Amino acid sequence: MRGDVVTATAEQQAGLRLWARGLYPYEAGVELLIRHRSLADRMAAGGFLLSNAEDPEVPRGLVWPDVAGFVDSGPGLSGSQRRIVAIIGSLLGVEGYAVDLSDAVAGLDRDNMALVLAALSHANGAHEHRDMTALHQALAEAQRDGATTLAWDPAADEPLPPLYPWPAEAVTAGG
């Protein structure tokens, strides 16, 4: 990089999300990377957001992060950035990226911690959880009445909001 500012493009971000779609930990890791703008931009600038442009076996539009290659290139990450990259690597199942949470979260500022909490919430699938009050009430009624069938409509169990939603703003500072 010659001092030019290179950013992760909207197309690369869409490709990352497409690559991760359907696996909550991958979705969380990718979203954490995208929302931590300085890391996504540095990976894009260094060529560590890989695409399938030359591989006919891989569906078009996919982009995936080369986390290990990025770290191995020695890009001079801050302590906070190293922690975020380790968490991203762990969520993406990158070999060698098991995270010691006591170390990883202790050195994060509030903005980065908000991103990590949202990522962990998403990886858990909390954005898909439902309020099961109606089911519990139907079970209690069936037990009380000695019923052999359950009078319950799954649609009655309302979706819950994410346990910890993604922050509206991306983290753009070096941290």
Residue range 119-133, pLDDT digits in tens: 999 999 998 888 888
> Does residue 159 fall inside a structural domain?
no
Q: Is the pLDDT of residue 154 over 90?
A: no
Give the structural domain span for 30.
Answer: 10-129
> Does residue 117 fall inside a structural domain?
yes
Q: Is the pLDDT of residue 174 over 80?
A: no
Q: What is the pLDDT, as a whole number, of residue 59?
A: 73
Residue type, 120: L
Angle at 8 between CA 109 and CA 98, to 5 degrees: 50
Number of structural domains the chain divides into: 1
The radius of gyration computed from the CA coordinates of the chain, to the nearest angstrom, equals: 20
Residue type, 91: L
> Does residue 100 fall inside a structural domain?
yes
> Does residue 149 fall inside a structural domain?
no
| More confident call, 151 vs 2 | 151
pLDDT one-digit tens code per residue, 24-64: 999 999 999 999 988 999 999 999 999 876 677 777 788 99
Write down the mean pLDDT value for the chain: 87
Give the pTM: 0.82
| Secondary structure class of 102 (helix, strand, coil) | helix
